[in-house]
A and B are shown apart, each in its own frame.
Chain A
Amino acid sequence: MKLQTKITLALVAFGLVMLAFAAPAVFAADKVDPVADAKAFKKFFYDKFPKLKPEDFVNGPYSMDADLYKQWQEKEQFPPYEFSLEMGKEMFSKPFKNGKTYGDCFPNKGIGIRQDYPYFDEKEGKVITLELALNRCREANGEPAFSYVRDEMAALTAYMAFTSRGKPFDIKIPNDPRALEAYEKGKEYFYTRRGQLNFSCATCHVQSPGEKVRTEVLAPALGIVNAMPIYRSEWSGMGTTSRRFTTCNSQIRGVPLTPQDDEYRNVEYYLSYVSNGLPISGPGARP
């Protein structure tokens, strides 16, 4: 046998072996099952905290600690996010320079729709979060985008969440392999350890909800995005979902990605989907 033929045969054999290894990965991707995931996710938390009603999970650490719960009820008499809510309401109704408003960019004029975000845009092939949709609305109307981690974005999303309070999360995953891939990537991001502390999102919010990191009671992952945006006493101000994700990363000594990068959009998609059925409670307040 000529040397060239031997090399060709060896390459073909190598290719077949590689295909055999690749096949299970393709199969695994075919088995992405968000419905089963959400069911298992909820069961895990319901079993872990049998005394809580499902809707209690959207109250984060307050549902985990009796003293905190009392403090929170008192706080809710004069909620610390109220100033942001007022600001958001005013911003939302004030027309852009071209005369249009945020309402013109959204279904139902933007009222009572928080529970439908994020959604998967089949034209673009990507996840669209509420924060991203708001900035796109601004840019489409000739206005500059807001920072994803500052007060203006928090105020707008606070108002939109407030008009949707009590409505159950209703995140849809269309029958599109790209949507399933985005969901799966969001799940992977959620469970992947990162940063020098070697923490994943799940380390705190699946393995340790109800326990303390320093003085803070950790919130359960179930329902965690239902309360966004949040006023945090620690921040002495409001925080968007983007702010929450980026600060989580830096707290574990990981360099945060840019707000609204695909990873953050996908993990919000995943977390929102597995909380489907639980009511929107934002804006929230946290210690």
Chain B
Amino acid sequence: MRLGVFTSVMVLLLAGATSALAASEDDYKAAYAAAEAANKQAASLRNQWTTTASTLAAAKKFADGGDFEKATASAKEAEALAKASIFQATSEKERWRDLEIR
């Protein structure tokens, strides 16, 4: 009996955890929008990365295939890449002088 209750609790917990981790279409849409916004900011700084674009494309492809788990992960990766390119463009506004031949 005890084992039965324990198993049931574990199954319920696992099911709950899985549903909490699994990304939905809404999660994907939010992640994609955030990545696109960051990439737009990188464009305004004239410093987009090709890898941001390819990772965004990969996210869309996963979403088109209904795999929102991978689609959301790719969109989040694209956002991280876009944010790194923004950081690069911003910090280079001063740092480029370190390389200058004087």
Contacts and interface: CB of A to CB of B under 8 A. Distances in A.
Contact of B96 (A198, A200, A253): A200
Contacts of A172: none
A33 B50 CA distance: 35
A180 interface: no
A132 interface: no
Contacts of A194: 47, 88-89, 92
B99 interface: yes
A207 B100 CA distance: 11
Interface residues of B, number: 20
A207 B99 CA distance: 9
A59 to B, nearest CB: 21
Contact of B50 (A41, A44, A250, A263): A250
A193 B49 contact: no
A193 B49 CA distance: 12
Interface in A195-220: 195-196, 198, 200, 202-203, 206-207
Contacts, number: 52
A257 B46 contact: yes
A202 B47 CA distance: 17
Contact of B100 (A191, A195, A253, A263): A191
Contact of B49 (A37, A41, A195, A203): A195
A263 B102 contact: no
Given A254-B50, A257-B46, A263-B46, A193 B88 contact: yes
Interface of A: 37, 40-41, 44, 187-188, 191-196, 198, 200, 202-203, 206-207, 250, 253-255, 257, 263
